[in-house]
Structure 1
Amino acid sequence: MNLANKQEITMDESPITKFHVKIAALTFGAHFTDGYVIGIISFALLSLAAQWNLSAFDLGLLGSSVLIGLFFGSFLLGWASDYIGRQKIFLFSFILITLASFLQFLAPNVWTLFFFRFAIGFGLGGDYTVGQAMLAEFSPKRHRGTLLGTFNVFFTIGYVASSIIGMMLLDADVSWRWMLASSGIPALLVLILRIGTPESPKYLVSKGQVEKAQAIVNEHLGEQVVLTAEKETKQLSLGHLFSKKYLKLTLFNGIFYACIVLPYFSVFTFLPTILNYFNMKEGHSADILLNIFLLVGAFVGMYLTVKLSRRGFLISSFIICFVSLALLGIIPQNMSFLLIGAFVVFTLFISAINNLVGIYPAESFPTELRASGVGVATACSRIGSALGTFLLPTLITKLGLSPTMLILAAVLLIGTAVSIIWAPETKGKELA
């Protein structure tokens, strides 16, 4: 096929179509499922702890199981998709997630339940990397930031939905088995809708399959849309991410991502402890209120993604989150109004900045390394989130809540410094 004679409009310049919406919806569905899976466990454990007489180790093991699976899945399946293709992992990940979600209902002991939740996390980790790569490679550059940034909105919606459902089921004394297995419902829907999803044209071009790639573009985006004349690229190994050419990008994406999610998961996993500190823990009202702030922050992040540069949004949000969390560590406890105000600001902007974790890694790396790069960044983030979730109770017990907040603020300060030094500007640029 002679592409040079048919260049009317490129994929990067094409308008949004129904197919773009479908690919976006399928990746958003994965993030909704992720938020739901992570959120529902906190309510299931309240019932499960007494029924199985769980130790602190057991609670930590089950609470971190999905995050551990996410680490391995994002690393290994992201690498695999650069070799065998995006579409295969895109489908396989949700076969695994759906089966493991429903199998939680049958778990007879802690280790079996850990295995099923690890499998869910493994699938979600792979889907994070491949979903971001697929959507980035199909999306026109004008709308790419908005689409990739919307991941956080749907994660937050899934998390809030699990909180509401978890509260209702807990109050109705419904078994933890039904709570956990309920995550299989959105997973099954996503799996069914993903059947028939085509391979990424950019990935096919990188493998020299230009005619096959153009056929997919014609079928799904229209006859007027053509591929740019890209050359076949040789397969790059995972080690290339740590070569001189890509090391700075790899370090930046891994560190900034980890510096966001470590305080995010630490604070919101142990939200009841912090709410008690603010004397706000009455029924479910405070939990619902904070969930509303998380949702508002996610939509604020979408708006700022469109209006601001990537670099400017990242650095300014890091600074605001650092200052607000540091204030939680130094404002006297009797000044509750200021404490609550600082907590609200932190909640809004830590949710808003999460929009960038779906954008920066996908825009930073070339096609032949994109899924691997996203996978490594996601793996680093899950190390951070698991570490923070594991250490926070110990830090609060040993040091107190105020010093612990200052330690988490220091993590955000590191993210600020790394972003100032290394953050590239990727907004509006064509993918390599």
Structure 2
Amino acid sequence: MRSAAIFHTDLPARLDRLPWGRFHTLLVFALGITWLLDGLEVTLAGSVAGALKSSPALQFSNSDIGLAGAAYIAGAVLGALLFGWLTDRLGRRKLFFITLFLYIGATALTAFSWNLWSFLFFRFLTGAGIGGEYTAINSTIQEFTPARYRGWVDLTINGTFWIGAALGAVGSIVLLDPDVVGGDNGWRLCFAIGAGLGLIIVFMRLWIPESPRWLMIHGRHAEAEQIVEAIEQRFRDEGHTLAPLSEKPLRLRARDHTPLAEVFNTLFVRHRMRAVVGLSLLTAQAFFYNAIFFTYALVLTDFYNVPAEQVGWYVLPFALGNFCGPLLLGRLFDVVGRRVMISLTYAISGVLLTISGYLFQAGLLTVIEQTLAWSVIFFFASAAASSAYLTVAETFPLEIRALAIAVFYAFGTGLGGIVGPSLFGALIESQDRSNVFVGYVIGAALMIGAACVQAIWGVAAERKSLESVATPLSQVHDET
């Protein structure tokens, strides 16, 4: 049977020996833009919160805004699980088109929402598209990126979330301005931005090949060989001399799928401590981010009396700090190492949030100071959150990589991301700074706890091939 064939391959080593080149830059740009879409969506949801409350058709309360955030996250959770499973079975390339089309359609429909339930439903579908994108895109980028660049590349890509956040902020400033569009049409056009951008991305992805690592596992070694040879030829044509291979070829048994029983055993028995680390990191960052960012507009409007149409201006420095964190700190994750840097960024984020939360409770911060405090906190928190996705993507075997990302994203986001926005929406509704401070302390405690888990059980995966970090399930050991 084809699925039982045993073969030797050096394709992973050949991909890891490549220097950084135009191929990688284009790949990262075409796929990494997913995080830009997510940043755009989350920012729009936050920036238009005031407009949704005053919309004649919707008239949302603060709790409704929090519920909308939770619906988006719920969709992302279920979408990640479904599409993560399909990504490992059907291939990376098919799924990053399917999930993108789902996102485009759902975010366009959001603009036509006529009541709370229609808005929640379309936000749920939008989240499902983004959740599916995370699994397909993360696994694809991991499998093409040379090992020595993997940490920095992954963190920087995740950081582009905040370029999307800045675009969403600027878009909301313009479209919510009563002198430009404003009114009920302003927030509707805001969501159309995402759909338009998504259509452009479709064309950017047409040239991207299937992951050779996925192909070889699924008995399509000849196709994988052709793709790698074509990539290597690009580098030779650009004047690069490829280093000789030093690693021993892998001996693998082809398979068409991985049974769910083996998936469960791998995730929660064989690699159970890695599962604990991944779940801790993703849960902490999901609560930390979603609780604060989905409701930051409510803090600005309810506690600092910022007009709803001006909220976007306060997102820009916040987004700058978030983008610069992974960009400037990312290289240290490859040089200093994963265990130290992940633990450090998580712990610093928690401590700084506690301090700024106390100052907020005491009424000692102006709106400018509050924005600057958030910018500094999320300089570190953005690198921390990005490293969580890096961790679950590189510490589990190739055959279940996308599903592993999905499972831990779903558990982490479900625990931290659904509860967070709903809880903070209710806390802000109380108009009591002390209640909001309690929410900040919960988020800080989760981050510090995750830092401790990573410091004790984290994997030192820096500069190592994916196959050495997590042995493929299909690997056949040579007989001795």
- Under a length normalisation based on structure 1, what TM-score does the superposition of the two structures give? 0.89
- Are residues 1:106 and 2:106 paired? no
- Are residues 1:431 and 2:466 paired? yes
State the secondary structure of the residue aligned to 1:74: helix
State the distance in 2 between where 1:426 and 1:154 align: 23
- Are residues 1:368 and 2:399 paired? yes
State the distance in 2 between where 1:356 and 1:109 align: 38
Q: CA deviation at 1:356?
A: 0.9
For the 8 Å contact 2:60–2:116, the answer to whether it is kept is no
Q: CA deviation at 1:123?
A: 1.4
Which residue of the partner structure matches residue 129 of structure 1? 135
Q: CA deviation at 1:390?
A: 0.8
Which residue of the partner structure matches residue 408 of structure 2? 377
State the distance in 1 between where 2:9 and 2:385 align: 42
Q: CA deviation at 1:42?
A: 2.5
Which residue of the partner structure matches residue 271 of structure 1? 296
For the 8 Å contact 2:80–2:406, the answer to whether it is kept is yes
For the 8 Å contact 1:17–1:221, the answer to whether it is kept is no
Q: CA deviation at 1:119?
A: 1.9
Q: Deviations over 1:92-120 (max 9, x none)?
A: 11121122232333334333333332222
Which residue of the partner structure matches residue 4 of structure 2? none
CA gap of 1:15–1:65, structure 2 versus 1, over 3 A, is: same
Say which of 303, 317, 330 aligns to 1:289. Answer: 317
- Are residues 1:34 and 2:38 paired? yes
Q: Deviations over 1:303-344 (max 9, x none)?
A: 43344311111111112112112223445726549x757544
Q: Which amino acid in structure 2 is aligned with residue 406 of structure 1?
A: V
Q: Which amino acid in structure 1 is aligned with residue 253 of structure 2?
A: E
State the distance in 2 between where 1:9 and 1:412 align: 36
State the secondary structure of the residue aligned to 1:416: helix
Q: CA deviation at 1:268?
A: 2.2
Q: Which amino acid in structure 2 is aligned with residue 148 of structure 1?
A: D
| Number of equivalences | 431
CA gap of 1:88–1:240, structure 2 versus 1, over 3 A, is: farther
Which residue of the partner structure matches residue 394 of structure 1? 426
- Under a length normalisation based on structure 2, what TM-score does the superposition of the two structures give? 0.81
- Are residues 1:326 and 2:354 paired? yes
CA gap of 1:120–1:334, structure 2 versus 1, over 3 A, is: closer
State the secondary structure of the residue aligned to 2:160: helix
State the secondary structure of the residue aligned to 1:427: coil
Say which of 288, 300, 307 aligns to 2:328. Answer: 300
- Are residues 1:351 and 2:382 paired? yes
CA gap of 1:243–1:360, structure 2 versus 1, over 3 A, is: closer
Which residue of the partner structure matches residue 15 of structure 2? 11
State the secondary structure of the residue aligned to 2:210: coil
Higher mean C-alpha deviation, range 402-411 or range 134-143 = 402-411
State the distance in 2 between where 1:329 and 1:6 align: 52
State the secondary structure of the residue aligned to 1:231: strand
Which residue of the partner structure matches residue 316 of structure 1? 344
For the 8 Å contact 1:29–1:186, the answer to whether it is kept is no
Q: CA deviation at 1:380?
A: 2.4
- Are residues 1:208 and 2:219 paired? yes
Identity of aligned residues (%): 24
Which residue of the partner structure matches residue 116 of structure 1? 122
For the 8 Å contact 2:215–2:223, the answer to whether it is kept is yes
For the 8 Å contact 1:204–1:213, the answer to whether it is kept is yes
Which residue of the partner structure matches residue 416 of structure 1? 451
Q: Which amino acid in structure 2 is aligned with residue 52 of structure 1?
A: A
State the distance in 2 between where 1:170 and 1:279 align: 19
Which residue of the partner structure matches residue 239 of structure 1? 264
For the 8 Å contact 1:86–1:130, the answer to whether it is kept is yes
For the 8 Å contact 2:339–2:460, the answer to whether it is kept is yes
State the secondary structure of the residue aligned to 2:466: coil
For the 8 Å contact 2:160–2:323, the answer to whether it is kept is no
Q: CA deviation at 1:232?
A: 2.4
For the 8 Å contact 1:320–1:349, the answer to whether it is kept is yes
Which residue of the partner structure matches residue 404 of structure 1? 439
Q: CA deviation at 1:84?
A: 1.4
- Are residues 1:197 and 2:208 paired? yes
For the 8 Å contact 2:52–2:60, the answer to whether it is kept is no
CA gap of 1:36–1:276, structure 2 versus 1, over 3 A, is: closer
Which residue of the partner structure matches residue 284 of structure 2? 259
Q: CA deviation at 1:273?
A: 5.0
State the distance in 1 between where 2:64 and 2:11 align: 59
CA gap of 1:335–1:40, structure 2 versus 1, over 3 A, is: closer
Q: CA deviation at 1:370?
A: 0.6
State the distance in 2 between where 1:21 and 1:122 align: 27
Which 5+ residue runs of structure 1 have no aligned equivalent? none
Q: CA deviation at 1:279?
A: 5.5
Q: Which amino acid in structure 1 is aligned with residue 291 of structure 2?
A: S
For the 8 Å contact 1:19–1:221, the answer to whether it is kept is no
State the distance in 1 between where 2:294 and 2:67 align: 14
Q: CA deviation at 1:197?
A: 2.7
Q: CA deviation at 1:389?
A: 0.7
State the distance in 2 between where 1:4 and 1:249 align: 28
Q: Deviations over 1:379-419 (max 9, x none)?
A: 12321122111111334537523333222221112212221
Q: CA RMSD in A?
A: 3.0
State the distance in 1 between where 2:85 and 2:71 align: 21
Q: CA deviation at 1:280?
A: 9.0
State the distance in 2 between where 1:116 and 1:334 align: 37
CA gap of 1:98–1:78, structure 2 versus 1, over 3 A, is: same
For the 8 Å contact 1:361–1:373, the answer to whether it is kept is yes
Q: Which amino acid in structure 1 is aligned with residue 69 of structure 2?
A: G
